[in-house]
């Protein structure tokens, strides 16, 4: 067999590969690599290397597309802010094409508690997302789990970032800031609060004067 490709973080149709499982070895010595995958609908499923590498259509979702599973309809929350926060958290940690991946999965920030790969467990631990808040890691160097996460406002999150003197704007932050102001027309003061920097820093980023600052 050709050299095995690294599939962790790959998005294959509706599945995002999040973890490699124990390899099955048959009596003839042949290996069957197994992976845990998260479907867009919220279900966690197991798939083998062959089906993922070949992008087998029937195996590239949890079964929700052909009626085998109800998918996220089992909890009825797939259009809520809470579900959107959970899905964005998963993408930041595992989807290498996500704009924020370099700040999260790319530097080792991931889902510490495998239970949170299931939306219903996440919802049970965190409850409904309050209006005006999003998920925040209390310790910026730790991953996502019940003990280190809370729902927080942008201001609370910016204060939390300021406590970490090592925090810098990354290249991904720079692109996000420019997009927020130039394409989404968000205010400079609002962006500064979100990223925990002064308004002058945001102006410099927008005007292409710099891209890294200590907060």
- Banded model confidence at residue 129, pLDDT cuts 50, 70, 90: very high
Greatest mean pLDDT range, 43-57, 100-114, 199-213: 100-114
Do 144 and 177 fall within a single domain?
Answer: no
Same-domain status, 125 and 188: no
125: containing domain? 81-152
- Looking at the structure, do residues 88 and 147 belong to the same domain, yes or no? yes
148 and 93 co-located in one domain: yes
Is residue 48 located within the same domain as residue 99? no
Neighbours of 104 (CB within 10 A): 21
Q: Does residue 4 or residue 148 have the better pLDDT?
A: 148
Residue 67 gets the label, from left (phi > 0), alpha (psi -120 to 50) or beta, of left
Angle at 102 between CA 137 and CA 210, to 5 degrees: 100
- Shared domain for 122 and 145, answered yes or no, is yes
Domain count for the chain: 3
Q: What is the pLDDT of residues 51-65, one digit of tens each?
A: 887 766 566 777 776
- Residue 166 maps to a domain: no
The reply to whether 99 falls in a domain is yes
pLDDT over threshold 90, residue 11: no
Q: What is the DSSP string of 18-29?
A: EEE-PPEE-TTS
Looking at the structure, tell me whether residues 16 and 61 fall in a common domain. Answer: yes
| Whether residues 125 and 184 fall in one domain | no
If asked whether residues 20 and 67 sit together in one domain, one would say yes
Whether residue 107 has pLDDT greater than 80: yes
Does residue 165 carry a pLDDT above 50? no
Residue 212 inside a domain? The answer is: no
Instruction: Give the model's pLDDT for residue 2.
Output: 57
Q: What is the pLDDT of residue 76?
A: 65
> Average of pLDDT values for 154-172?
67
Any domain includes 64: yes
Q: Annotate 161-209 with DSSP letters as a single string.
A: HHT-TT-B--HHHHHHHHHHHHTS---HHHHHHHHT--HHHHHHHHTTS
Assess contact for 133 and 153: CB atoms under 8 A: yes
pTM listed for this prediction: 0.56
**Mean pLDDT computed over 176-183:** 87
Does 193 have pLDDT greater than 60? yes
Sort 42 into a burial class: Cβ within 10 Å, 0-12 / 13-18 / 19+: buried
Domain membership flag for residue 6: no
pLDDT at 215: 38
Q: How far is C-alpha 127 from the chain's CA centre?
A: 19
Average pLDDT on 72-100 reads 80
Is the predicted pLDDT of residue 115 greater than 90, yes or no? no
Which DSSP letter does residue 2 get?
P
% the chain with pLDDT above 70: 83
The average pLDDT across 73-86 equals: 77
My answer on whether 69 and 85 are in the same domain is no
What's the average model confidence in pLDDT over 12-27? 83
157 inside domain? no
Say if residue 97 is in the same domain as residue 144. yes
pLDDT value of position 140: 75
Q: Domain ends where: 74, 92, 113?
A: 74
- Which whole number is the average pLDDT over 151-160? 80
Q: Give the model's confidence band at 135: pLDDT under 50 very low, under 70 low, under 90 confident, else very high.
A: very high
Same domain, 146 and 128: yes
35 occurs within a structural domain = yes
- Residue 159 located in a structural domain: no
CA 137-139-142 angle, to 5 degrees, is: 85
The residue among 56, 74, 92 that closes a domain is 74
Give the model's confidence band at 171: pLDDT under 50 very low, under 70 low, under 90 confident, else very high: confident
């Amino acid at each position: 067999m050709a050299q095995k490709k690294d599939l962790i973080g790959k998005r294959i149709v509706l599945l995002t590969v999040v973890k490699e499982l124990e390899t099955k070895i048959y009596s003839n010595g042949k290996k069957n690599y197994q992976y845990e995958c998260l479907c867009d609908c919220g279900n966690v499923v197991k798939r083998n290397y062959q089906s993922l590498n070949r992008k087998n259509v029937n195996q590239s979702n949890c079964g929700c597309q052909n009626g085998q599973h109800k998918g996220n309809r089992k909890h009825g929350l797939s259009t809520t802010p809470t579900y959107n926060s959970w899905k964005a958290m998963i993408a930041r940690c595992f989807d290498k094409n996500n704009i924020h991946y370099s700040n999260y999965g790319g530097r080792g920030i991931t889902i510490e508690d495998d239970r949170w790969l299931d939306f219903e467990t996440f919802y049970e631990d965190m409850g409904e997302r309050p209006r005006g808040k999003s998920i925040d890691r209390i310790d910026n160097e730790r991953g996502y789990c019940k003990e280190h996460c809370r729902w927080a406002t942008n201001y609370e999150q910016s204060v939390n970032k300021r406590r970490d003197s090592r925090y810098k704007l990354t290249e991904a932050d720079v692109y996000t800031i420019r997009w927020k102001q130039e394409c989404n027309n968000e205010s400079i003061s609002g962006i500064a609060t979100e990223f925990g920097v002064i308004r002058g820093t945001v102006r410099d980023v927008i005007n292409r004067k710099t891209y890294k600052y200590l907060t």
